[in-house]
């Protein structure tokens, strides 16, 4: 029998006696591991002796990215944690979901820069410029984002408007937003974003060698922001609205513009 709709998993965690493994957290960890592995393979092509640079930088970059993602989520959705009926301690429960990609990119990149500076002291001028490092990491980060969206699927979150078709996502009534209890299937926006990020990753792998150093990472930010703008427009989870658009749409516009400027700057640098 063919699957008519995408079901929401009935479990979001695995319990082994006193040990509880949240599948969202497991997806994030798996994504990070993949990003480091892919980034390491790509960065090694820049010269000999670079085998451990990506892993060493990740020690600072990964926690920075997680922290940045959580901070962005808390700043953009404070009511859930600090509102009248909020639970402040829930702000620490990152395994339940809630990592804003914009904050993760911003603080994660900053953390990577600090980590890379430490490597420069070790390698000296033999270490490629930081923009080579960013280009090497970009496809792996995109794949990590795709794996992370699987975690949202296990949590039954980040879906869009009601949809009645074969690829619609079935959402249990207890997870449906207020005002949508009569609908059972919705846009699987987590899946849309997974597909989009994997497409960008494949394109970057094919194109990175053809663009200026640093331009590959700029393309990553621009392309992801472009797709996220439209995906965000069909989401129905609560969000702050400005000028008729969700906060994340404005963030996508800003990042798209900044990435476009960075792309032009990197491209002109080698002329």
CB 24 within 8 A of CB 12: yes
Query: Exposed, middle or buried, 261 (CB in 10 Å: 0-12/13-18/19+)?
Result: exposed
User: Three-class SS of residue 170?
Assistant: strand
User: Three-class SS of residue 140?
Assistant: helix
Per-residue pLDDT of the chain (271 residues; tens, 9 = 90+): 345 789 999 888 888 888 888 898 899 999 999 999 999 999 999 888 898 999 999 999 999 998 988 888 887 776 676 766 666 776 667 666 667 888 888 999 999 999 999 998 888 778 999 999 999 999 999 999 999 999 999 999 889 999 999 999 999 999 998 899 999 999 999 999 999 999 999 999 998 888 999 999 999 999 999 999 999 999 998 888 899 999 999 999 999 999 999 999 988 765 4
- pLDDT of amino acid 267: 85
Indicate the domain borders of the chain: 23-269
Q: What's the length of the chain?
A: 271
Tokens of 129: 């410029």
- pLDDT of amino acid 1: 39
Query: Exposed, middle or buried, 44 (CB in 10 Å: 0-12/13-18/19+)?
Result: middle
CA distances from residue 153 to 77, 106, 146, 239, 240 in whole angstroms, order as listed: 20, 25, 11, 19, 23
Alpha-carbon distance of 140 to 204, in angstroms, equals 10
CB 137 within 8 A of CB 220: no
Paired strand residues for 15: 20
CB 240 within 8 A of CB 270: no
- pLDDT of amino acid 16: 83
Task: Show the beta-strand stretches assigned E in the chain.
Answer: 13-16, 19-22, 169-170, 185-186, 241-242, 245-246
- pLDDT of amino acid 3: 57
């Amino acid at each position: 029998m063919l699957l008519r709709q995408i079901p929401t998993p009935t479990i979001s965690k695995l319990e082994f006696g006193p040990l509880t493994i949240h599948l969202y957290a497991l997806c994030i960890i798996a994504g990070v591991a993949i990003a480091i592995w892919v980034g390491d393979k790509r960065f090694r092509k820049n010269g000999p002796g670079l085998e451990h640079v990506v892993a060493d930088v990740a020690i600072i970059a990964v926690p920075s990215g997680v922290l940045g993602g959580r901070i962005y989520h808390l700043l953009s959705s404070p009511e859930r944690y600090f509102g009248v009926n909020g639970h402040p301690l829930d702000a620490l429960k990152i395994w339940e979901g809630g990592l804003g990609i914009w904050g993760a990119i911003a603080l994660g990149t900053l953390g990577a820069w600090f980590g890379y500076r430490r490597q420069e002291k070790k390698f000296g001028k033999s270490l490629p410029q930081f923009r080579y490092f960013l280009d090497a990491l970009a496809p792996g980060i995109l794949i990590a984002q795709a794996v992370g969206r699987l975690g949202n699927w296990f949590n039954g979150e980040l879906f869009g408007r009601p949809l009645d078709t074969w690829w619609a996502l079935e959402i249990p009534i207890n997870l449906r937003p207020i005002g949508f209890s009569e609908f059972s299937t919705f846009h699987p926006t987590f899946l849309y974003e997974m597909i989009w990020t994997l497409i960008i990753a494949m394109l970057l792998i094919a194109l990175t060698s053809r663009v200026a150093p640093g331009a590959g990472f700029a393309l990553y930010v621009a392309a992801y922001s472009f797709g996220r703008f439209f995906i965000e427009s069909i989401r129905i989870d609560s969000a702050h609205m400005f000028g008729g658009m969700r906060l994340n749409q404005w963030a996508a516009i800003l990042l798209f513009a900044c990435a476009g400027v960075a792309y032009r700057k990197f491209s002109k640098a080698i002329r």
